[in-house]
Structure formats: C-alpha cells, structure tokens
Amino acid sequence: MIDRRKFIERVAAVSALSLVPNIIKSQSSILPLDLNTDNLPLFISTWNHGIEANEAAMQVLVNGGSIVDAVEQGVWIPEADPNNRSVGIGGYPDREGHVTLDASIMGPDGNAGSVCFLENIMHPISVARLVMDSTPHVMLSGDGALQFALENGFKKENLLTPATEKAWKKELIETGYDPKPNWENEPNKYHDTIGLLGVDSAGDIAGACTTSGMGFKMRGRVGDSPIIGAGLFVDNEIGAATATGMGELVMKTVGSFLVVELMRNGRTPQQAVEEAVLRIVNKVPDHKKYQIGFIAVNKQGDTGAYCLQPGFNYALYQNNQNILIDSNSYYK
Ligand code: GLY
C-alpha cells in the first residue's frame, strides 16, 4: 500500500527540483577531502555527463543523504540539462516528435522501481523512485506512469526544445522514417544514457539509469534502461552494473544481471563486463554496427568498464578524485 508520509516527502523534494542542479554545482568545491576509506565511497557513471552527476551524488552523500538519494539526485543533473541529447529535457524525440523517457533505480535493500515510455516529466528517475518506495509494483509505463506522476505532484513540461525539434525535422528529411538506421560508421550516435552506480562508506550499493532512449526511435520503443536486470542491476551482497548504448543488445543478453552474476561467481568487475560484451559478440549477429558499454562495481569498491566500439568513456569519483576515463573496447 502507498505510504502517505513518503509520498509527501518525495513531492516536497520534487518541487525543489528546478533549483537543485545549480545549487549542487555551485557547492561542488566544498566537498571534504577526507572521505575515502579503502576506496569508499565511490560513484561511477557513464559518459562525460557522469562527471557532474558523480559530483552531485557525492554532495548528497556528504550532506547526509542515503546512497539511493545520491544516485537519484546525481542523475537529476543530465535530466535537467537541455543540451543533453539523450537524457531528460533536450533528449532526441521519437520519429513522431515525442520525447519518451525510460528510467530505473535500485537500492541496497533489493527494491527496484522503473518507468518507461513516460512523456512530459523532467525527472523520470524520481517517478521511478516513487514507484519503488510507494507502490507494490516495479514498473509503470506510458499514460499510467504519467498519471501516477501527476497525481503525486510532478509537473507536466514540454521536453522537446527548439534545437531537438529542428534535429528531428532534419532527421525525417534525411532518413525518411527509416525504421532500421544503419550506424555502421557512427556506432556512438544517439546513445548516451546515464547509468550511475554508488557505494557508500558502509559498502551499501545503489544504482540509477535514465535516458530518452535511442534518438528518433519508433514510437512505443522501450530500451534496456528501465528493464531491471538489463540496463541496471544491483545486488547489495555482490555489486552493481549498468549499461549504455543500443539497448536491444543488452536486453537480449540481460546484460547488467549477467555482469552481477559473473561477479557473484568470482569475476572481478573488469572481467565481468568484458565477458558480458563478449556474450553480445557471440550471441547477437548484427552487433558490430552498434555500441554497447557496461560499467560495474563490487562491494569492495573495485570497478570495471568495457564496450564494443571505441568511443565510450565513464566518470569515476573515488579517493577524492572525479575523473573521466576512456574505456577499453572489444573492437579497436
Ligand atoms: N540504452 C538506452 C536505450 O537503448 O534506450
């Protein structure tokens, strides 16, 4: 059943959302320098927008927030950035011109929440959090997810910006609604999902993943990001993993769950992500024209990252350093 107190707390947090990203950015220089104890806490996230997301997440933890608060609020940064073409407002729309969002979140207690095919809500990750915290369900979709968000204080917003509307019209002219885009020469195009994993100093793990999905996708298409076990998986006994890139390849191999299970069976995070990419290479015949990237972390604070094609990078905030690292790739 729905817990009213939690609802009210979440709504209060959401009503402050438009202010939070700037506040967090302006406070980033006051992070204390003595946080690290044996590699923890840490945040690891996909792509260069991960730097700011990590910074925001660490600030939440420093200010006394939980590891779930930290990953949720970390990804608010790219969700609210109108210049980010693959997350939240400013994300590329589908082929009909609608921005449709997918997001998921998992906490150390094994609970999970997600939304998919959600329109007109700036922070789908917070709707996913509310699904996790306040309903008996894991996933809400489309109109139902929107109804749930509006009933709980989220505001409807237009997420299509003048820049993405222009890009959409150009894409229509250039591709003529081609349902099978060929990205042989541009495997990184239109996929920059943010996945953010965090481990606090007690070793508790959480993860968040949020995206506007593949740019100019078919209407109704949902990717891996809101699918628990595909785009995101957390097992607080073992570790966590999240994915970016062409979600169909991750869904067909249940990628993030696979990474965590490989770690459970003794692989390091790096060995696990490499094996998950190899699984895609061996099982998905047309994988070569697409990009996939995984990041992973275990309970001890060891991390891993690997991708199919060159070009994927990730941000790691650990031992008081928040740095962008180029991932190794299967193809060179
Ligand atoms: N990985 C995000 C998507 O395929 O939608």
pTM above 0.75, yes or no: yes
CA of 104 to the centre of ligand 1 (A): 12
Which residues line ligand 1 at a C-beta cut-off of 6 Å? 191, 193, 211, 213-214, 223-225, 244-247
Amino acid present at 130? L
**Residue 214 Cα: closest atom of ligand 1:** 5
* Enzyme catalytic residues: 193
Q: Which CATH superfamily hosts domain 4-15+40-326?
A: (Glycosyl)asparaginase (3.60.20.30)
54, containing H or E segment:
helix 50-62
Q: In the prediction, which pLDDT does 14 show?
A: 39
At 38 the pLDDT is 76
> What is each CA distance from 80 to 53, 142, 261, 319, in whole angstroms?
11, 20, 33, 27
Three-state secondary structure of 118-175: EECCCCHHHHHHHHHHHCCCCEEEHHHHHHHHHHCCCCCCCCCCHHHHHHHHHHHHHH
* Cβ pair 190, 92 in contact under 8 A: yes
Find out whether 277 and 309 touch, Cβ atoms under 8 Å.
no
What stretch of H or E contains 263? helix 255-264
Beta bridge partners of 329: 307
What's the gap in Å between 221 CA and the centre of ligand 1? 10
Which atom belonging to ligand 1 lies closest to the Cα atom of 231? 1
Residue whose tokens read 């150009």: 170
Ligand 1 atom nearest residue 250's Cα: 1
Measured distance CA(6)–CA(296) in Å, rounded? 30
For residue 308, the CA-to-ligand 1 centroid distance in Å is 15
How far is Cα 204 from Cα 108, in angstroms, rounded to an integer? 6
Q: Which of 101, 115, 222, 246 to mutate to test the pocket of ligand 1 (most atoms within 8 A of CB)?
A: 246
SS3 197: strand
Which amino acid is residue 253, in one-letter code?
A: T
Query: One digit per residue, pLDDT tens: the chain, 332 residues?
Result: 334 344 334 434 433 443 333 333 333 333 443 444 579 999 999 999 999 999 999 999 999 999 999 999 999 999 999 999 999 999 999 999 999 999 999 999 999 999 999 999 999 999 999 999 999 999 999 999 999 999 999 999 999 999 999 999 998 887 776 655 556 666 666 668 999 999 999 999 999 999 999 998 999 999 999 999 999 999 999 999 999 999 999 999 999 999 999 999 999 999 999 999 999 999 999 999 899 999 999 999 999 999 999 999 999 999 999 999 999 999 99
Alpha-carbon span 247 to 254, nearest angstrom? 10
Q: Which residue ranges make up each domain of the chain?
A: 4-15+40-326
CA distance 30 to 169: 43
What are the backbone angles phi and psi of residue 172, rounded to the nearest 5°?
A: -60, -40
Task: Say what the pLDDT of residue 91 is.
Answer: 96
DSSP reduced 3-state for 281: helix
